[in-house]
A and B are shown apart, each in its own frame.
Chain A
Amino acid sequence: SQQGEEDPQALSIQEGENATMNCSYKTSINNLQWYRQNSGRGLVHLILIRSNEREKHSGRLRVTLDTSKKSSSLLITASRAADTASYFCATDASGTYKYIFGTGTRLKVLA
């Protein structure tokens, strides 16, 4: 079964705009990760946020985590055409280190 659910399922924006995608999960976690997948390729790790953290930044990426609501958001600022990809959140139920992926958000950045 899927642990995480991303929202929206698909997002289309203009280059230079910000993109926000959300992830909701069901059980308590050790950490939450975001991955990117370009068409026909494997997943690439973007950022990890631990259960005791509320916000994390990496370059143009900003991730927030609200454990009380069991949700996370990924913000990509000043988007580029190269950001076009599917984005997945992955969570592990506390103590398991078994990473379960969500359903993904398909982002399209128009030049």
Chain B
Amino acid sequence: EAGVAQSPRYKIIEKRQSVAFWCNPISGHATLYWYQQILGQGPKLLIQFQNNGVVDDSQLPKDRFSAERLKGVDSTLKIQPAKLEDSAVYLCASSLQVRVEKLFFGSGTQLSVL
């Protein structure tokens, strides 16, 4: 079965620019997560979707970050405007349902903000 697909793999931008990341979860997976992983740290949950509805976005900096999951399949995470401290790997994960606990991760998008 195909895994979680993410693009782009790498992105370099200057501060105050905008950037978008795309994620396509495993087919049939209803729950989708975006995590931010700063170098040397564990992944930090930004937002969790169940189908196309938001389950939790309490850790999402909503003044600059936004995410959507139209049609309950693929998802886009956007940062506008980017700050230096946004440099991190952005990981997308999916699971079959909220109450099915095993998460499947994509390879991530490595963002460098200069």
Contacts of B48 in A (CB 8 A): 98
Provide the main secondary structure of the chain A interface.
strand
Q: B99 touching A100 by the CB < 8 A rule?
A: no
User: What is the number of residues of chain A that contact chain B, defined by CB distance less than 8 Å?
Assistant: 25
Apart from A42-B4, A90-B103, A98-B45, 20 more pairs, CB < 8 Å = A2-B42, A30-B101, A35-B105, A40-B107, A42-B105, A43-B91, A43-B103, A45-B103, A48-B102, A88-B42, A92-B101, A97-B98, A97-B99, A97-B101, A100-B45, A101-B35, A101-B43, A102-B42, A103-B41, A103-B42
Which positions in A face B, CB cutoff 8 Å? 2, 4, 30-31, 33, 35, 40-45, 48, 88, 90, 92, 96-104
Which positions in B face A, CB cutoff 8 Å? 4, 33, 35, 41-45, 48, 55-56, 91, 93, 98-99, 101-108, 110
Listed by A's residue number, 22 A-B pairs whose Cβ atoms lie within 8 Å are: A4-B42, A30-B101, A35-B103, A40-B107, A41-B107, A42-B4, A42-B93, A42-B105, A42-B106, A43-B103, A43-B105, A45-B102, A45-B104, A48-B101, A92-B101, A97-B98, A97-B101, A98-B48, A99-B103, A101-B44, A101-B45, A104-B42
